[in-house]
């Protein structure tokens, strides 16, 4: 039977989108290498390589031929449902990418390379001033980008939309304001109670032993090492070039084992999502990870709801004791569980407990708003950062390394990314609520070391859909409700009331 015109056009569309994905993923490989193995002298050449590929990708993504092909497909009446949604989403991206002049694409890529290199050097020397000029250039370009993309209310909205479609400052405020109040109130109650002893978590743990534990934990939650790998980096991250090639990184502090544990499980959550995307839809929206809120909901679900749960460690704690007997052999499981869930304001976001973590996020959000909406000078960031930490977390920032230089995101131009961490945590609690209803013996299975039922549920209800649904659509589809902070607040209140003996 001969193919219809629509089938021929769709095949041409698929070929173009996969070729574009190949170029973007080649860039991603170079960026992964940049953060893991690139020798210092290779930084400049790497910037040139990435710029060339970025220009090529932009040309492919905005070609008139692709535009005509998409328009023809949109005008067709015989596209299957998934195919039509792929085309509609590609058309949205096409229209957005057409707004970018090639000069801005090139400038952003060059600025990102320089900014990341300077961030690394600034961390080594503990001096924000070394990073400041490159970051100023990046912020200037992001302001230009916001103007090009357009916005109804605030320029920051245009940058939020890049990480979560349709997200605005107004929407974030409606979630963050009540969330911040609830967290501060719960934190005040917790601080009136005796804190769990956690000194043992800061004992010396050899680097190689930690690394081996991380591999064990990743394998236990279902990460496929035949389709991915783990390496070390300055800042943990996940990148994917294909569902069969997903890379994650971790970092290790030999006097703080939890740093490695939580970064492994967190990035493992991201990686499980990428490995679960439909291979047959590679290069198309249906085969791409959804928004960053969905992505962070996966990492925060695995890190906190699962990885910090008592059920999870009822199985894995014996393995931890075997691998680090000098630290844990005399520590009962309940003491370990309370220690890894200790709530205490701290300096470093990635090492924060799951309650105060969100104050770290809201601080970054407030700074980003001022940078973009109020043109806060970049040189003023450290002062504002330190003041907010003193005010909201009652901690004194001793230096730039433990303050404004701790995160890699701004060096990549990822302004508007941070709110997705907290929004992802809120959504993770909604998934967790439904998961426990859907799998009645979930905690019993976890206590046996079996998290496969959880992964199977995520594969079926979230991973399988790629980007076909916006966050609110997927949330409504899976939970029957829109994004809602109530399950998250219920989750943290129940958990920490039990740990700290709080009364309502």
Residue ranges per domain, the chain? Answer: 169-500
DSSP state of 226: T
- Report the distance separating Cα 404 and Cα 120, nearest Å: 13
pTM of the model: 0.93
Instruction: Please tell me the total number of residues recorded for the chain in this structure.
Output: 504
267 carries an active-site annotation: yes
- The model's pLDDT over 22-68, given as tens digits with 9 standing for 90+, comes to 999 999 999 999 989 999 999 999 999 999 999 999 999 999 999 99
Structure tokens at 394: 């009652």
Do residues 428 and 304 touch, judged by C-beta distance below 8 A? yes
Neighbouring C-alpha atoms within 13 Å toward the C-beta of 209: 17
Query: What are the tens digits of pLDDT across the range 73-86?
Result: 999 989 999 999 99
Rounded CA gap, 447 and 175, in Å? 34
Pairing of strands 228-232, 238-242: unpaired
Of 308, 383, 293, 374, residue with least CA distance to 338: 308
Q: What is the pLDDT of residue 305?
A: 97
- The residues, any chain, with a CB within 8 Å of residue 254's CB and separated by 6 or more, are 204, 205, 206, 207, 210
Distances in whole angstroms, Cα of residue 96 to Cα of each of 12, 56, 91, 360 = 21, 17, 9, 31
Whole-angstrom Cα Rg for the chain:
23
- Give pLDDT tens digits for 129-156: 999 999 999 999 999 999 999 999 999 9
The three-class DSSP label of residue 245 is strand
What pLDDT is stored for residue 1 in this prediction?
Answer: 40
Q: Which residues pair with 1 in a beta bridge?
A: none
Active-site residue (options: 164, 267, 274, 296) = 267
297 Cβ contact list (under 8 Å, min separation 6): 424, 425, 427, 428, 431
Residues of the chain below pLDDT 70:
1-3, 504
- Work out the number of other CB atoms within 10 angstroms of the CB of residue 340: 21
Q: What pLDDT is recorded for position 504?
A: 64
Do 295 and 277 form a contact (C-beta atoms < 8 A)? no
Helices (H), 98-131: 102-125
Among 3.30.300.130, 3.30.1490.20, 1.20.59.10, 1.10.1370.30, what is the CATH number of 169-500?
1.10.1370.30
Structure tokens, 164? 């979560």
């Amino acid at each position: 039977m001969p193919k219809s015109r629509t089938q021929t056009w769709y095949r041409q569309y698929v070929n173009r989108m996969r070729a574009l994905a190949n170029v973007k993923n080649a860039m991603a490989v170079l960026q992964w290498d940049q953060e893991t193995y690139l020798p210092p002298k290779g930084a400049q050449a790497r910037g040139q390589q990435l710029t060339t590929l970025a220009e090529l990708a932009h040309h492919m993504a905005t070609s008139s031929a692709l535009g005509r092909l998409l328009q023809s497909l949109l005008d067709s009446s015989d596209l299957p449902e998934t195919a039509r949604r792929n085309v509609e989403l590609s058309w949205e991206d096409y229209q957005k990418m057409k707004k970018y002049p090639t000069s801005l694409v090139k400038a952003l890529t060059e600025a990102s390379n320089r900014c990341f290199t300077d961030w690394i050097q600034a961390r080594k020397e503990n001096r924000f001033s070394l990073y400041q000029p490159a970051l100023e250039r990046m912020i200037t370009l992001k302001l230009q980008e916001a103007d090009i993309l357009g916005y109804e209310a605030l320029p920051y909205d245009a940058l939020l939309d890049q990480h979560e479609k349709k997200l605005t400052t107004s929407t974030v405020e409606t979630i963050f304001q009540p969330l911040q109040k609830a967290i501060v109130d719960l934190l005040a109650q917790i601080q009136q109670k005796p804190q769990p002893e956690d000194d043992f978590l800061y004992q010396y743990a050899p680097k190689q032993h930690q690394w081996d534990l991380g591999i064990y934990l990743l394998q236990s939650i279902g990460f496929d090492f035949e389709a991915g790998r783990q390496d070390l980096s300055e800042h943990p991250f996940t990148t994917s070039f294909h569902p069969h090639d997903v890379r994650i990184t971790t970092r290790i502090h030999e006097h703080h084992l939890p740093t490695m544990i939580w970064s492994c499980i967190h990035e493992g959550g991201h990686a499980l999502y990428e490995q679960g995307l439909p291979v047959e839809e590679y290069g198309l929206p249906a085969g791409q990870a959804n928004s960053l809120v969905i992505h962070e909901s996966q990492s925060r679900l695995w890190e906190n709801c699962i990885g910090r749960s008592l059920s999870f460690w009822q199985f894995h704690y014996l393995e931890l004791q075997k691998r680090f007997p000098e630290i844990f052999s005399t520590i009962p499981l309940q003491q370990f569980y309370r220690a890894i869930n200790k709530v205490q304001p701290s300096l470093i976001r990635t090492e924060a407990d799951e309650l105060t973590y969100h104050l770290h996020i809201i601080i970054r959000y407030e700074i980003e708003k001022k940078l973009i909406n109020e043109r806060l000078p970049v040189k003023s960031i450290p002062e504002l950062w330190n003041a907010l930490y003193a005010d909201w977390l009652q901690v004194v920032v001793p230096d730039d390394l433990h303050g404004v230089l701790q995160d890699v995101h701004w060096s990549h131009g990822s302004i508007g990314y941070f709110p997705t961490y907290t929004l992802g945590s809120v959504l993770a609690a909604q998934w967790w609520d439904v998961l426990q209803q859907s799998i009645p013996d979930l905690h019993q299975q976890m206590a046996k070391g079996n998290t496969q039922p959880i992964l199977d549920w995520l594969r079926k209800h979230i991973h399988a859909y790629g980007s076909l649904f916006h966050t609110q659509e997927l949330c409504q589809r899976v939970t029957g409700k829109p994004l809602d902070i109530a399950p998250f607040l219920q989750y943290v209140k129940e958990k920490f009331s039990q740990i700290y003996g709080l009364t309502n």
